[in-house]
Amino acid sequence: MPFFSDQTFQNLQASDFQPGEYDSCTFTGCNLSNLNLHGSSFENCTFKNCDLSNAKVSGVSLQMVRFEHCKILGVHFNSANPFLLEFHFDGCQLDYCNFFNLKLKKSVFKACRLLEVDFSQADLGGASFVGSDLSGTVFDRSQLEKADFREALHYRIDPETNKIKGARFDLEGLPGLLGKWGIKID
């Protein structure tokens, strides 16, 4: 399998992508939508302004991967290799992605749009969702202790079915925590 280290790939198309091991590489302006990444691994890599919508990540290793202003729709990250899985998303569109049952402690979802995302049974202890839109996102039996939801919008988290001790919320976010009980906050 080819090994790539400290390289920059610009405007790469899915048809030009070569499966391999990528270490400390940068992908800028690449369109990798609908690409099957099976057999590849990414360590300390950065994706900037890329489209990875509907990419297949089954068995793919994603260690300390950073995504900046990327479009990542419908990706089932729960099928990726869970070993040392670590993400940092900044300004990304992550609608309809699946993070079911993943260990994502201290992962960052900063100023992202996460519509209808599934975080059921995920370990998000210490994760940050600062400034993100979480409309329709599912948190069910999720570990959210010490997670940061300040400036996040439209989330609905049931404190009875999720662990939220030490999590940080704004006053504006109270309806997302109390909605289950029909409490109205003006």
The CATH number of residue 36's host domain is: 2.160.20.80
Whether residue 40 is contained in a domain is answered as yes
Digit-coded pLDDT (tens) for 8-34: 999 999 999 999 999 999 999 999 999
| Sheet strands side by side (includes 108-110) | 8-10, 26-28, 46-48, 65-68, 87-90, 108-110
Digit-coded pLDDT (tens) for 98-118: 999 999 999 999 999 999 999
The pTM of this model reads: 0.93
Residue ending a domain, choose from 80, 98, 116: 98
Kindly state whether residues 141 and 71 are assigned to the same domain. Answer: no
Whether residue 67 is contained in a domain is answered as yes
Kindly state whether residues 94 and 48 are assigned to the same domain. Answer: yes
